[in-house]
Structure 1
Amino acid sequence: MSNHIQITLNDDLLRTFTNAIKEAVREELPQYQDSFRKDWLSTEEVMEMLSVSRRTIQNYRDEGKVPYTQNGRKILYPRDGIEEFLRKNMIKAYR
């Protein structure tokens, strides 16, 4: 014997329900965000984060602009180091 429940929602009730879920997630997400955050990033993730090419990332490494660690051929970047690089190179609006 299986139990089934069927709920029928009109558009307004569905919109209200959806908005309530979005608001609950928005309120709860900040306390869990750090647990989902990766401490180390791949070259591809840094390329996407900075919107630059693989060659540019290699230049940044060669010039000592971004910290990294290498194990064999695998290169990883500390997230904090990349975020610091972004902060140091940020140009603030003059107004």
Structure 2
Amino acid sequence: MKNAIQITLNDELLDVLTQAIKEAVKEELPKYQNSFQKDWLSTEEVMEMLNVSRRTIQNYRDEGKISYFQEGRKILYPREGIEEFLRKNMIKAYR
């Protein structure tokens, strides 16, 4: 025998609930779209992604470990290059 819960909503309450969900999704979605769809990352995003300091990122650039693009003071990193850096430096589990 299955347990079931039945909720009955009138049209007005359903519309209010639907609108609230749409607004919540509209507010939250850009946070995820920006992090998953960007081809280029800022220094702060790479720092967060690698969990390292700004100085470590600079060292990686100076040592040629990560690719980057610089225009003036703005530095951007190709997402693909950072993901490749992670793959190359991954230590596989022994088991």
TM, length-normalised to structure 2: 0.65
Residues 1:64 and 2:71 aligned together: no
Count of residue pairs the alignment pairs up: 65
2:51 aligns to what?
51
Give, in whole Å, the separation in 1 of the partners of 2:40 and 2:57. Answer: 15
Give, in whole Å, the separation in 2 of the partners of 1:75 and 1:6. Answer: 49
Specify every segment of 5 or more residues in structure 2 that has no aligned partner in the other structure, as ranges.
1-10, 15-32
TM, length-normalised to structure 1: 0.65
The two structures, once aligned, show a CA RMSD in angstroms of 1.5
Question: What's the secondary structure of 1:5's corresponding residue?
Answer: helix
1:6 aligns to what?
13
- Which letter maps to 2:12? I
1:42 aligns to what?
42
Q: CA deviation at 1:6?
A: 2.4
Q: CA deviation at 1:66?
A: 0.1
Deviations 1:9-33 (A, max 9, x none): xxxxxxxxxxxxxxxxxxxxxxxx7
Query: Percent of counterpart pairs with the same letter?
Result: 83
Question: What's the secondary structure of 2:93's corresponding residue?
Answer: coil
Q: CA deviation at 1:62?
A: 0.1
Following TM superposition, the consecutive aligned residue runs of length 4 or more in structure 1 with deviations greater than 3 angstroms are none
Specify every segment of 5 or more residues in structure 1 that has no aligned partner in the other structure, as ranges.
8-32
Give, in whole Å, the separation in 1 of the partners of 2:78 and 2:84. Answer: 10
1:23 aligns to what?
none
